[in-house]
Amino acid sequence: MVSYEQLRAAEPDAFDNLANKWSRLAGELSSADSDLGSAARSLEGWSGEAAEAARSHVTDVRSGYSTAAEYIEKIPPALRTLSDAVSEAQKTVDGVVETVDTSGHLRVHSDGTVRAIPGGPGDMRSDDEKQAASDLADELTGKISRALSAVNEADRTAVSALNKATPEAAGLELEATGADHIITPSDIPSDGSPAEVKEWWDGLSPTEQESAVYTHGDVIGGMDGIPVEDRDRANRIRFAEEYTQLTGRRDELAELGPAKYSEEATELEEIDRTLNGLEPIQERLEREPTATRPQAYLLDFATDGNGRGVVATGNPDTADNVVTSVPGTGSNLSNIGGELDRADAILDQAAQTDRGSSNAAITWVGYDAPQDLNEAIRAGYAEDAAGDLRSFQDGLRATHEGQPSNNTLIGHSYGSTVVGHSAQGGHLDVDNAVFIGSPGVGADHVSELDLPDDANVYAGTAENDIIRNTPPFIHDNQPINDDFGAEVFDAGEGTDSWYGTSPDAHSEYWDENSTPLRNLGRIVVGESPSS
């Protein structure tokens, strides 16, 4: 039962917005039906039992989409009619409130009754005037009461119409979500190694796999050992929901125009920050693939805290060369756009270096990075990230199809510290570990790194990179030092400053046609860099 205060607070536009969303969903389902029909035409010449089973299945599913669209279409009119009734009732109540405010002798109570304010000793009104005020109060109470009755009647009518728009009313039944096909959270080997996860995945029936993708996308999408295409599918669905919710909320808050320092203003700032990261990911996922910049895959994302994003440009499960880049201090979801551009730069360079190779570049903003230099002197962030990065690399191995790929792991700045720690306390399965612009990797010598016997360890820092000034007591020996034992490559000079080194030189490794980028491209395709 809608009360007077609830009517006053009601937002009829919300019903209209929802109606539009339902309408759009119905349209999408209707399109799914017709697009499936068009796609299935290519099966017309196919004969045999399997062909019949497939055709029958498509007809059945199409009918499901069509029926769903038909019944969902019943929802918007019910909501729009209700919205109109609420607007009309609010108009009536607003009129009453205005009359009350101008009278000066009336008050609307929280239950919607209007009463005359008893005159005090200073009340100079005549008895007739007091009676008139009392009569007016009764009249206005009646108006509010009728408005409330009308809106409650409209609410009941809407519910009655909505009851006729359920899947049950449409006669639809769940077929793929039955007990025989469902994957429950306890079925998922969340603590398994990537190889065990892959084995589990391969043992599922096709319907169970779909159950996992659609119902447990939040878990499957981030699991190392699940094939890249399936992770991507699960994450895209999750991404669509979160992205739409955040953009919707941002638009709502922006329209509200929150006052500075208010709770809403803080929320708006946080949402904007998150969307700064989600928008470039969205663009990357929708980008038309080219020969050198292939289709992107979303391998993980999270919006809590500093946020995370793991995006592959190119399919690591099928590529010849797979490079994972780990950024350093200050990296978080909101600035992933710049990291994605660096992935493009590496892909372009790798394609120039070896035109016949297929390459995938992964942007791994998959850890809680230090956000400023004070935090960056601590090894804790790298230690916390080490297990996840190792597992991610093991996952790439477990799901790769055909001959093993040439896997390179590039750590830039504090990202190199993360890579270094990942190669300690566990085996880091990469072909090439690259430390670029490194302050130190938590080790004094390459022998302390647990890598495959034939793995290459490369290090390069621009001559003028300010990171060279990092003292060894912070993250131990810098990997470009001779006594570290890495193969040091030419990382260029970089921009200098009046005192020699500069912060600019720390971020120029991906500059087009630069020496360090050329060397990174060589390493990625399995060639040796120039020293």
Partner 1 sequence: MSGYDVDPDTLVTTGDTFVSLADGAGEAVAEFSGAAAVHAEDNDGFAAAGKVRSLAALWEYHVDDLNKRTAVAGGLLRDAADGYGRMEDAVLDTLPELHSEA
Q: Which amino acid is at 358?
A: S
Nearest partner of 310 among 192, 412, 392, judged by Cα: 392
Closest approach, Cβ 151 to partner 1, in A, equals 8
Nearer to partner 1, 51 or 117 (CB): 51
Closest approach, Cβ 407 to partner 1, in A, equals 25
Nearest partner of 392 among 322, 294, 313, judged by Cα: 322
Nearer to partner 1, 35 or 341 (CB): 35
Closest approach, Cβ 424 to partner 1, in A, equals 40
Closest approach, Cβ 265 to partner 1, in A, equals 18
Closest approach, Cβ 218 to partner 1, in A, equals 12
Closest approach, Cβ 179 to partner 1, in A, equals 13
Report the C-alpha gap between 413 and 435 in whole angstroms: 8
Nearer to partner 1, 25 or 97 (CB): 25
Q: Which amino acid is at 441?
A: V
> CA geometry: angle at 502 spanning 500 and 504, to 5°?
145
3-state secondary structure of 171: coil
Nearer to partner 1, 216 or 522 (CB): 216
Report the C-alpha gap between 24 and 28 in whole angstroms: 6
Nearer to partner 1, 275 or 449 (CB): 275
Nearer to partner 1, 43 or 117 (CB): 43
Write the DSSP symbol of residue 73: T
Closest approach, Cβ 171 to partner 1, in A, equals 9
Report the C-alpha gap between 459 and 481 in whole angstroms: 9
Nearest partner of 3 among 115, 155, 117, judged by Cα: 155
For residue 37, give both structure tokens: 């029909």
Closest approach, Cβ 192 to partner 1, in A, equals 23
Q: Which amino acid is at 210?
A: E
Nearer to partner 1, 244 or 262 (CB): 244
Nearer to partner 1, 88 or 210 (CB): 210
**Burial, 159: exposed, middle or buried (Cβ in 10 Å; 0-12, 13-18, 19+)?**
exposed
- On the CB side of 376, how many CA atoms lie within 13 Å of its CA? 21
Report the C-alpha gap between 529 and 531 in whole angstroms: 6
Report the C-alpha gap between 32 and 61 in whole angstroms: 10
- On the CB side of 27, how many CA atoms lie within 13 Å of its CA? 7
